[in-house]
């Protein structure tokens, strides 16, 4: 993991992002969750969306593990292969939350989602890249294109 932690330090040094780069790891079993990892239901007593868990990892530097039980978002549950989204409800959600201009655009968005297969992933772990205890499958970075 040292090479990933060093990469995180280098990215911070060169790019100066306002938040931590986030290592994302898809785990097949809950037993693989690294020690010291927080989970929303157990540690925070709430269900949350994956975007919220990502924000906690990138802003506060916590490592957060999300399972089907922790997730309060049907769209991310669909994406991680935990539970297929109800098409009508998903289209309505995407339209109502202004992710799409209308139901036709929402349907196109829903069809374009890349989803993991059911059973492929039981846990998603988000951690600051500089402190990750797992080799990431994906690295998320939030950057501002504006010059200061």
Q: Domain limits of the chain?
A: 2-130
Which of these, 9, 65, 70, lies nearest to 35 by C-alpha position? 65
What's this model's pTM, rounded to 2 decimal places?
A: 0.86
d(CA 28, CA 73) in angstroms, rounded, equals: 20
Sign for the CA dihedral angle at 127, 132, 138, 142 comes to positive
State pLDDT tens for residues 74-110. Answer: 888 989 999 888 889 999 989 999 999 999 999 999 8
User: Average model confidence (pLDDT) for the chain?
Assistant: 91
pLDDT by position in tens, the chain (length 148): 889 999 888 888 888 888 999 999 999 999 999 999 999 999 999 999 999 999 999 999 999 999 999 999 888 898 999 988 888 999 998 999 999 999 999 999 988 988 899 989 999 999 999 999 999 999 999 987 765 5
The residue assigned the tokens 């986030």 is 22
């Amino acid at each position: 993991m040292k090479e990933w932690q060093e990469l995180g330090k280098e990215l911070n040094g060169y790019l100066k992002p306002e938040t931590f780069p986030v290592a994302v790891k898809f785990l097949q079993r809950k037993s693989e969750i690294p020690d010291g990892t927080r989970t929303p239901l157990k540690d925070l007593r709430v269900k949350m969306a994956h975007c919220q868990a990502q924000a906690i990892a990138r802003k506060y530097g916590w490592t957060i593990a999300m399972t089907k039980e922790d997730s309060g978002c049907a769209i991310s549950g669909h994406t991680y292969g935990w539970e297929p989204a109800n098409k009508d409800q998903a289209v309505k959600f995407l339209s109502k939350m202004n992710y799409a201009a209308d139901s036709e655009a929402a349907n196109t968005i829903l069809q374009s989602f890349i989803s993991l297969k059911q059973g492929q992933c039981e846990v998603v772990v988000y951690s600051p890249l500089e402190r990750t205890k797992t080799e990431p499958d994906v690295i998320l970075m939030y950057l501002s294109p504006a010059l200061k």
